[in-house]
Amino acid sequence: MIKINALYAGYDLVNVLRDVNIEISEREIVAVLGSNGVGKTTLNNTLSGLIKPTSGEIYFEDVLISGRDPVEIVDMGLIHVPEGRKLFPNLSVKENLELGSYRRGKPNRSKNLERILEIFPKLRDRISQTAGTLSGGEQQMVAIGRGLMSEPRILLLDEPSLGLSPLLVEQMFNLIKQINEGGLSVILVEQNVIQSLSIADRAYVISEGTVSLSGCANELRENSDLKKSYLGL
């Protein structure tokens, strides 16, 4: 579904990513793991078109999307739920969710909104509150909800567990699994290695800007290198 081919990308002539190759198939959850500063967010921003790659290609169902504008990429159905949520703090929860369907227009809006409020019942009570006043967990729900309002075919989640309490982290991962089982492909970019591997089908580990390890989630869970570098075992 997504094919990333020899990707180099970065900011101001410095390549953060070097020769990254990643593939994601239909209905998969693929985890992209790595600690702070290895280039995970750069990878996401390149996928969603916020930054243009220096070289290499990204294909979305055989269509070249690298170098395209975010608007076109949203139209194709690749939706990036960014780290730090990037909600519109001055707008109400409802308006935030509605803007998720900015490119889709009004036809399915109320139906999708209802579906998202069923997934996140808590947001129903907050619907007219401004997003800036919500708790971290609620904001994360709005961010994912806003992404789902775009009727994505593939959801790119950047650190969805960041800043959430352990209990909420657990819920968030269950929810991602649930969304995936509804038929959506998910790219899960995370620092939380254990939880991510528990729901992912496959995973890539990024270190120093390139893929250092990849494979099935089950195998990676037993991998001694990974245990050493991320779990301290």
Partner 1 sequence: MLSITLSLLPAGIINGLMFGAIYALVALGLTLIYGVLHIINFAHGAMLMLALYSAYFLFKVLNIDPYVSILIVTPASYVFGYTIYRWGIGKLSGGRDQNILLITLGLSIILENSALFFFTGDQQTISLPYSYESFDLGFLYLSYPKLISFVASLIICVLLWMLMTLTDLGKAIRAVAKEREGARLVGIDVEHVFAVTFGIGVACLGAAGCMLLPIFYVDPYTGNIFVIIAFTIVVLGGMGSIVGALLGGFIIGVTESVGGLLLGESLGQIGISLIFILILIFKPTGIFGSKV
Catalog residues that contact partner 1 under the rule CB under 8 A: 48-50, 69-71, 74-75, 79-82, 85-91, 95, 98-100, 102-103, 146, 150
**With respect to partner 1, which residue has the nearer C-beta, 75 or 181?**
75
**With respect to partner 1, which residue has the nearer C-beta, 96 or 161?**
96
40-43 contacts, C-beta under 8 A, 24 or more apart: 40/158, 40/159, 40/189, 40/206, 41/83, 41/158, 41/189, 42/9, 42/10, 42/11, 42/16, 42/17, 43/7, 43/9, 43/17, 43/189, 43/206
H-run or E-run covering 114: helix 109-119
Q: How far is the CB of 89 from partner 1 (least distance, A)?
A: 6
In the structure encoding, which two tokens stand for residue 88, read together? 């519109």
> Is the distance from CB of 213 to CB of 205 less than 8 angstroms?
yes
**With respect to partner 1, which residue has the nearer C-beta, 91 or 213?**
91
**With respect to partner 1, which residue has the nearer C-beta, 88 or 212?**
88
Q: How far is the CB of 193 from partner 1 (least distance, A)?
A: 25
**With respect to partner 1, which residue has the nearer C-beta, 48 or 196?**
48
Q: How far is the CB of 51 from partner 1 (least distance, A)?
A: 11
Q: How far is the CB of 225 from partner 1 (least distance, A)?
A: 34
> Is the distance from CB of 123 to CB of 93 less than 8 angstroms?
yes
Q: How far is the CB of 88 from partner 1 (least distance, A)?
A: 4
